[in-house]
Chain A
Amino acid sequence: MAVENSTTQRMVNWLVYPLLLLCAAVTLMPFLYLVCSALKTKATFFSSPFLPPGDGFLGIDWSGLTVEHFYLLFTDPSLGFGRAVVNSVFYASVSSVLTTLCAAMGGYALAKFAFRANRLLSGLVLASLIIPGPLLLAPSYQLIYRFGLLDSFIGLILPGIAPAFGVFLFRQALLHTVPLELIEAARIDGCGEIRCFFTIILPLVRPMLGAFLLITFMGAWNNFIQPQIILQTPEKFPLAVAIAQLKGLYGVDYGLLMAGTVVSIAPVMGLFLLLQKDFIAGLTSGAVKG
């Protein structure tokens, strides 16, 4: 019985691989299509879905490929794509670092300290998780206008750096991982409160910190609606807005558009591959326990 069970199991396993490979192919094909489209010249663009066939090495017409689209993106001043890359890197790094710091500090205060407003704040944080983002678009825009912060990076970054969801995550993580005795021992040894937070608490939630930095970085990098509403000068646009602009202006120049998309996606993909172990662990640790 047991032997038969394991052989059927092995047979099912062999059926599983073709299915998985098919799904993997479907998942990866759009990426391959994107990269090939970015590299094809106008003449060969629609000659085949992927690389143009020809007499060259591997049966591919290598002369039908070009890096001209990428070259154009960064050298044509009217496209200003280099500027957009710089803007995106700046916007995403600054806002992810500030957001993570703000959320970790807030979560720490709520998780580990007895103080008067703790219960009220914890309740408020939890309640605000239910508010959908689009509801706040109009009133935030009005507020940022009144502060005179429209068309500035401060107006774009500042409203986003105190996410209730982040404070909640860090509060939960710290509640369970950091024993109070550790903090009290540090105090007795004469460690100051601020130093204690940065040298003892933060290293203890390192995986969570990494995952949250990555999530907020990607969130800002991929954010479209806020920069679209708040920024007005094209020189300040991050990639997501710049590429939408590009599509409006050069709607059928697909080679150029796909090259721009490759440039926009590649950094985030690279960053994720570097940090992916932390990321998946951090993503699921909160969900399954809760």
Chain B
Amino acid sequence: MTRQLSTSHPRWAPYVFITPFVLIFCTFMVYPLVQSILLAMQQTFGPKTTVFVGLKNFADLFADRFFWLAMRNTFVFAVASVALQLPLSLGLAMLLNRPRLKGRALFRLIFFSPSLVGIVFVAMMFALMFHEREGLVNTLLRGVIPHFPREFPWLQEYVMPALIIATLWMSVGFNMIYFLAALQSVDRECLEAADIDGANGWQKFLYVILPEIAPVTRFVTLLSLIGSFQLFELPYILLNGPGPENRGLTVVMYLYQYGFEVGDLGYASGIGWTLALVLMGLTIIQRMLSREQ
């Protein structure tokens, strides 16, 4: 589609509309972005005093075992939570997409409702849910699994599974919305043709539905991965910090601690750039995969 642009307007008109955005965008996005490159080569003591240290921050970062621990935790969380989220959200969407289903709108609303809760408040809810003795999670597990222990220390020893469970509750319904929209736009004629060729349900899913929704699947995967790599509030509130033996330390939490508790904005920017490069790498991989198709 060729773009039609107005030329009959007064010369000032577009500038009136774009100026507020450009001013704020340049001040609070472009400038800090450039500044973050310079900051990454400085050491600071609070926002006032800075010393130029060149690439020392990055050298320190690569030798910093807490940084690598944070990277590892974040990576494990991102891969595990996305790998569980995708099939669950797609499964729910398939259930809701059945023809002549009654109460579809209500179910959709129910499944979506956890994504309305801010992540800080989710952390508050799960702080009690994961109570080692009386929390709802353990009460339910005791009811379902025979001989489940009287105490199960989620927030002391099983931090990663706890974070993943809370994340699943929060985001499965959100991703389901995307899958449901994609399933509703799957070509009906293709499905009917598969029916005529005698394909069973599983074959239809594998050879018709999955390829048709592949672009949305890639989009949801990328979005969830980017979100998961920025995990911060959930463990920070749930564990009041990085947790026992730093089991809940994530990259953004480490950035926060260095920048705003230690006061070294330079080292924090170094962490920020490392994270940004990882995420940009993921985005480029996703672009390449979509282009191949």
When distances are taken between beta carbons in the complex, the residues of chain A under 8 Å from B280 are: 130
When distances are taken between beta carbons in the complex, the residues of chain A under 8 Å from B124 are: 243, 247, 257-258, 260-261, 264
When distances are taken between beta carbons in the complex, the residues of chain B under 8 Å from A23 are: 92, 95, 111
**Residues B232 and A254 in contact, CB atoms below 8 Å apart:** no
**Residues A261 and B125 in contact, CB atoms below 8 Å apart:** yes
Asked if A27 meets B110 with Cβ closer than 8 Å, knowing A20-B95, A102-B20, A134-B230, the reply is: yes
Asked whether B76 is an interface residue with its Cβ less than 8 Å from the other chain, the reply is no
Q: Min CB distance, B119 to chain A, in Å?
A: 7
Bound together, the chains give a CA A218 to CA B24 distance in angstroms of 21
Interface residues of B in 252-293 (CB under 8 A from A): 252, 255-256, 259-260, 265-266, 268-269, 272-273, 275-276, 279-280, 283
Q: Which of A13, A133, A136: most chain B CB closer than 10 A?
A: A136
Bound together, the chains give a CA A184 to CA B10 distance in angstroms of 12
Q: Min CB distance, B201 to chain A, in Å?
A: 9
Asked whether A37 is an interface residue with its Cβ less than 8 Å from the other chain, the reply is yes
Bound together, the chains give a CA A37 to CA B185 distance in angstroms of 42
* B contact residues, total (Cβ < 8 Å): 97
Bound together, the chains give a CA A37 to CA B124 distance in angstroms of 12
Q: Min CB distance, A100 to chain B, in Å?
A: 12
**Residues B136 and A49 in contact, CB atoms below 8 Å apart:** yes
Q: Which residue of A lies closest to B99 (CB)?
A: A9
**Residues A158 and B18 in contact, CB atoms below 8 Å apart:** no
When distances are taken between beta carbons in the complex, the residues of chain A under 8 Å from B107 are: 20, 24
Q: Which residue of A lies closest to B143 (CB)?
A: A49
**Residues B255 and A115 in contact, CB atoms below 8 Å apart:** no
Q: Which residue of A lies closest to B35 (CB)?
A: A139
Binary B-proximity of A232-256 (CB < 8 A = 1, otherwise 0):
0000000010011001100100100
**Residues A131 and B33 in contact, CB atoms below 8 Å apart:** yes
**Residues B226 and A27 in contact, CB atoms below 8 Å apart:** no
Asked whether B145 is an interface residue with its Cβ less than 8 Å from the other chain, the reply is no
**Residues B6 and A180 in contact, CB atoms below 8 Å apart:** yes
Which one of B78-86, B127-135, B203-211 contacts A? B127-135
A-side residues, CB < 8 A to B, are 9, 12-13, 16, 19-20, 23-24, 26-31, 33-34, 37, 46, 49, 102-103, 105-106, 108-110, 112-115, 117-118, 121, 124-125, 128, 130-143, 145-146, 158-162, 164, 167, 175, 180, 183-184, 187, 193-194, 197, 218, 221-225, 229, 240, 243-244, 247-248, 251, 254, 257-258, 260-261, 264-265, 268-269, 272, 276, 280, 283-284, 287-288
Interchain Cβ contacts under 8 Å between A and B, 8 examples = A13-B98, A30-B126, A49-B136, A135-B275, A218-B118, A243-B120, A251-B240, A288-B182
